[in-house]
Chain A
Amino acid sequence: MALGMMKPVKPGLEAPHEELHRIRITLSSKNVKNLEKVCADLVNGAKNKSLKVKGPVRMPTKVLLITTRKSPCGEGTNTWDRFELRVHKRVIDLVSSSEVVKQITSITIEPGVEVEVTIADP
């Protein structure tokens, strides 16, 4: 299935004088709430500009586990600590010009969310 097809020009609208790109925005964060917020904002922004948007695809969360003994010495019951770091990842696909993308991504960014943009020619 062709996912990255060019959107046919709607009648009544001018053909975009800027060439369109296929753009993938990858968002990753340790904080789910912020991440979801940013995703929602981006998608809304793209939809406002009536771009073709593939909604936030949620990648599986990566969990980094560290399991250590609680005790600083060897004495006592062998209790263990389980520390984890969860990294969430979302992917948004767009088809638009780079200008627009810049506009979109300049809007709202929560702290702790890392944004990566990949542009490819269609």
Chain B
Amino acid sequence: MGKKKFIDKKKSATFQLLARDSSNPSNDDGPSGDRIFVRVDDSPYPVHGFFDEDVHNVEGTAHPGYSFETDVTNDSNSIFTNAFGDHDGDDKYDRFEIHGNQNQTLLTGAVPLPDHTRREILELGLPDDGYNYLNHLREIKNTGGGSAFYHNSKAKLDQLPLDVKAYDASKVRIPISLANGDANDNSLYTVAAKTVGLRIQKAVDPEVAALLDDGDMSRFGSDVEDLEEDFVVRANPPEEKEDVLDKSMNSVDRSRVTRQEVRKHAICYAEEQGSQLLGCDASRCHEAEQGTVTEQPRVRRLLDEQFDMLTLQEYDTDSDYDNDGSIAAEGESLADKLSHVLKDHVTDELDLVDKYKVPADFLHKSGGSNSRELVDSASDVIRRCVEYAEMYNENEGNEDVMVLEESSGESEVWDCETIVSTYSNLDNHPGTIEAPEYGRKKKLAETVSKAAASDRVISLRGKERLPVEFLPHSRNAVVEKVKKAPSTKPELPKRRPHSQESKEEKKERKAAVKEERREARKAKKELKELYQCEAQRAQRVAAVSGPSSVHVM
């Protein structure tokens, strides 16, 4: 029957109603916004009125939230998809089967891509199939290439200290001749001569400036930062004003203390000096530039006065020092002054290498140059020793002095003479320890040879059929051995050549060998028995402490 079909599939366009990606907000306007018609066939039949129109124009009273499902057997992404080439049976309903990935290209957009997008895609070499591959492009970033910038959220870049050092050069005076002598107008000196003092704010970290400027160092608890270079000289007043009457311990001690302090102060002062020279404090820079160490025009501060007071108190002088001037003003060098001042004080004798001096030596002046104070100190030491000795001797009769031996480091080291065993007496029972029986084999050989020499048949007795005479602990054997020990040795049986041995001799020889072996076995067993517990202990220790790779048992 020539039945005219309602729709000729070859001349028609087929659309499926699919759900849109609801996460895309533009897809949700209107009740029908989440569905679109997607063309699923690939016939060239153009449909103008259907496909190109935007679904958003459609109005209706659709129920929101409904969505279509794709044809599960034709959608290539679905798990129910037929395999390529697998048809759903030849149904007679003229159903147009879709194969391949054509669905894919139409799924994402009803509208073909705009021309500029398509051009870009083509330029990149990607196929022009309606899919916007530009969504998948990644921008080329700097992935490191040596050093990538890592954005540190905790970095406070605006609070970094300025890497600026500013010097107040307003008081620098360039000699005019130098400035004018240069023909070049822009030379360093001409430019420098024209400088004007500029007030710079925050050129120096205010905290640092405050610290540098801090004259009152009382919070550091020491008052030695402002010492001059010749402070030692000044501290030790000139000879005529020294209190020479003070010969007691006090002066000695004080001088000793002073010596130590002097050294300490020297170190501190050197540091301070260095920091002063390097500091950026504007108020001091120009002074430092002058090249002298002392500061002539320096204002006397509270600290200076304190120091003076201290020296006055200590040394009982009432003079006002006029020696604040620089050292250059005086004709004497600093070193000379120092030695002159300190010559009466105790100095370390640094070459005591050869001779070891006892305080008594100092007293008796038995060598070297002894200063007065050295002698005094020596005498003091001796006196004190005497006192202690007396004290000690007094105590001896009164109390029971327990002398406790300290275990010094030396005694911890064992030597072969002091130690026999690290085991305590609880373990080392004299009866248990025995000398190892090395003489076993010798004994055996002796007994064997004795037996052979005695020309007797070796009698096997007992249930075990043992040669009784040759057993280690048998009395007979011992007795015989004592008698015959010296004589049996040279009487070892001659070894006749093998072929000339008679049967009996062979038997004897073999029997002797067997006995020897039996004895050896017995001896080994006894030894093992004897030292069993020792062996067990050793094994235990090894198991605990030894490396795991070592097979203990």
Contacts and interface: CB of A to CB of B under 8 A. Distances in A.
Contact of B47 (A108, A110, A115, A119): A119
B356 interface: no
A91 to B, nearest CB: 8
Interface stretch (B11-19, B283-291, B496-504): B11-19
A24 B53 contact: no
Interface string B21-65: 000000000011001010010000101011001010011111100
A106 interface: yes
Given A99-B49, A105-B17, A112-B69, A24 B6 contact: yes
Given A98-B50, A108-B63, A114-B71, A59 B93 contact: yes
A4 B60 contact: no
A114 B49 contact: no
A59 B31 CA distance: 30
Interface residues of A, number: 41
Contacts of A4: 4-7
A118 B67 contact: no
B60 A107 contact: yes
Interface residues of B, number: 41
Given A3-B4, A22-B6, A119 B50 contact: yes
Contact of A106 (B11, B32, B47, B69): B32
B219 interface: no
Contacts of A103: 58-60
A97 interface: yes
Contact of A118 (B3, B14, B60, B61): B14
Interface string A1-37: 1111000000000000011011110101000000000
Contact of A18 (B49, B55, B67): B49
B70 interface: yes
A109 B31 CA distance: 11
Given A108-B63, A111-B67, A119 B55 contact: no
A3 B55 CA distance: 29
B67 A93 contact: no
A82 interface: no
A120 B12 contact: yes
Contacts of B11: 120-121
B9 interface: yes
A26 B14 CA distance: 10
18 contacts: A21-B47, A22-B7, A26-B95, A28-B71, A54-B6, A91-B93, A103-B59, A106-B31, A106-B60, A109-B63, A111-B69, A115-B68, A116-B40, A116-B71, A117-B16, A117-B50, A119-B12, A120-B13
